[in-house]
Amino acid sequence: MSDAAIQCHELGKRYRIGERQPYLALRDLLATAWTAPLRALNGKGHRSAKRAKEYLWALRNTSFEVDRGQVVGLIGRNGAGKSTLLKILARVTRPTEGWAEIRGRIGSLLEVGTGFHPELTGRENVFLSGAILGMSHAEILRKFDEIVAFSEVEKFIDTPLKYYSSGMGLRLAFSVAAHLEPEVLLVDEVLAVGDLNFQKKCISKMGEIAQGGLTIIFVSHQMNQIRRLCERVLWIECGGILRDGSSGDVVTAYESAMSSGSYETTPGARGAQSRFYRWGIRESPLDHSNHLTTMGPVTVVFSLRVNEPVRGVQPDVGLVDRENRVMWAGSGATIDLEPGEHELEIMLPTLPLRPGSYRWWAGLSRAHGWVELWDCHPEMIVATDVYQHPNEKCSSVLNMPHEIAIHQVKGVICS
């Protein structure tokens, strides 16, 4: 048996699209039931295709372990799956597949002031919120004075919460949470609120706890916080772990990938008889095949659907960066294409790009112009290690691992 505090094995969570949006109304259900026989007549294929589209994997095939006492940051863009992962670990929602095991008392702070009620006084809210967070009555009684002192709102402790300033409410809420004494703490971006001084106090309180062997999983968009608090960082993208490593490395890679703006989208010149519709990097996991994590070799595959025979075209592929500079481009020999599914494959021995986002194009051309041109979607995210000169003025286009050494090849030079 492993010694990990948190163990996740192939965790996955599937949502029905729209599930989190407007709730279902009974009348919708009745309406669907009413038309069901009609839809059945329309043929089964149509229905099952529709059904597959209604689901979305917010998290998939996610496995990792966290050692006791480790402070781990979760980073990634909005909707990448960080919060879903945290919610599963906090037991707010259940996974669709896989399992996780947590050893130790769990404290979860997905929000500041969970269970606070504006009509109740500060004192009453401490007891209520403490109980909801998982403290026993005796425990709250024992820590009550300490909680109130930490929050710095002693004077107003018997005033209803609705008369508190938002800062005071937050301080009281965090004080309750900071005295949970869990063994595994799950924190979702809660430190992003409140005044700066109190933030510092909370962070040092959390750091204090961590010295005592507390395991923390921490979601934040503030890279400074992540750098300061976490030793290890998981970068989540498209529902999976993209990178897992020391916080310095992963945060640097993430920041340079995110500093890119979005592309100006040109629709390309879409063909009538033939169309590219999908692309992916073969070495990457299936669910986020637009992520490049190695220097190479790299195989990129573009799927092409041909409806009518296409004669005498040249495949044309290229890669541009966010400033539309061409990083690499190539074209193949003239060919004829028969109707059906095709795959255009390019093999590159290495693709030493700086972390960031790039966009592929894939096309079929004739002498007088494009038969088909696709500005590939989604863009390619490069999330490799960073090998750049320490001086920013010398930062380079290519990003390659290197060794620099000086060898003495001759003895004393005689004059």
Partner 1 sequence: MATAGTRQLHGATFAGERVRITPPAGWFDLELKALWKARELLYFFVWRDIKIRYKQTAIGAAWAVLQPFLTMVVFSLFFGKLAKIPSHGLPYPVFYYSALLPWTYFATSMQAATSTIVDNQRVITKIYFPRLLLPISAVFSGVVDFLISFVLLLGIMLYYRMIPTLAAVWLPALLLLALLTALGVGLWLSALNAIYRDVRYVVPFLVQFWMFASPVAYPASLVPERWRWLYALNPLTGVIEGFRWALTGQGEAPDRMLAASTVAVLALLAGGLIYFRRIETTMADVV
Pick the closer one to partner 1 by CB: 99 or 277. 99
* One of 55, 99, 163, 277 touching partner 1 (CB under 8 A): 99
Interaction pattern, residues 177-216, with partner 1; x per rule: CB under 8 A? ------x-----------------------------x---
Give the Cα separation of 261 and 86 in Å (integer). Answer: 28
Q: Measured between alpha carbons, how far is 24 from 132 in angstroms, rounded to an integer? A: 28
Query: What is the C-alpha to C-alpha distance for residues 361 and 415, in angstroms, rounded to an integer?
Result: 60
Binding segment (CB under 8 A) for partner 1, from list 105-113, 165-173, 310-318, 406-414: 105-113
Q: Which of 172/292 has CB closer to partner 1?
A: 172
Q: Quote the strand ranges of 202-293, DSSP E.
A: 215-219, 232-237, 240-246, 274-281, 291-292
15 binds partner 1 (CB under 8 A): yes
- The only residue of 56, 65, 114, 294 in contact with partner 1, by rule CB under 8 A: 114
When asked if residue 249 is in the footprint of partner 1 (CB under 8 A), the reply is: no
- Asked if residues 297 and 348 have their Cβ atoms less than 8 Å apart, the reply is yes
Q: How far is the CB of 361 from partner 1 (least distance, A)?
A: 39
Question: Binders of partner 1: how many residues, by CB under 8 A?
Answer: 53
Nearer to partner 1, 129 or 256 (CB): 129
Restricting to residues 144-163, name those near partner 1 by CB under 8 A: 160
Tell me which residue of 383, 366, 69, 51 sits closest to 212, measured CA to CA: 69
132 is an interface residue for partner 1 by CB under 8 A: yes
Exposure of 336 in the CB half-sphere (CA atoms within 13 A): 4
Instruction: Compute the distance between CA of residue 226 and CA of residue 244 in angstroms, rounded to an integer.
Output: 14
Tokens of 116: 């606070």
**133: contact with partner 1 by CB under 8 A:** yes
Three-state secondary structure call for residue 253: helix
Q: How far is the CB of 104 from partner 1 (least distance, A)?
A: 6
The tokens for 358 are: 């790039």
Please identify, using beta-carbon distances, which residue of 88 and 310 lies nearer to partner 1. Answer: 88
Category of 289 on φ-ψ map: left (φ > 0), alpha (ψ -120 to 50) or beta:
alpha
Phi and psi at residue 211, in whole multiples of 5°?
Answer: -60, -30
Q: Is 105 in the site for partner 1 (CB under 8 A)?
A: yes
Please, which residue, 173 or 230, has the CB nearer to partner 1? 173
Residues of the shown chain interacting with partner 1 in the complex, contacts defined by CB under 8 A: 3, 5, 15, 19-20, 23-27, 29, 68-69, 87-106, 108, 110-111, 114-115, 117, 119-120, 124, 127-128, 131-134, 136-137, 160, 183, 213
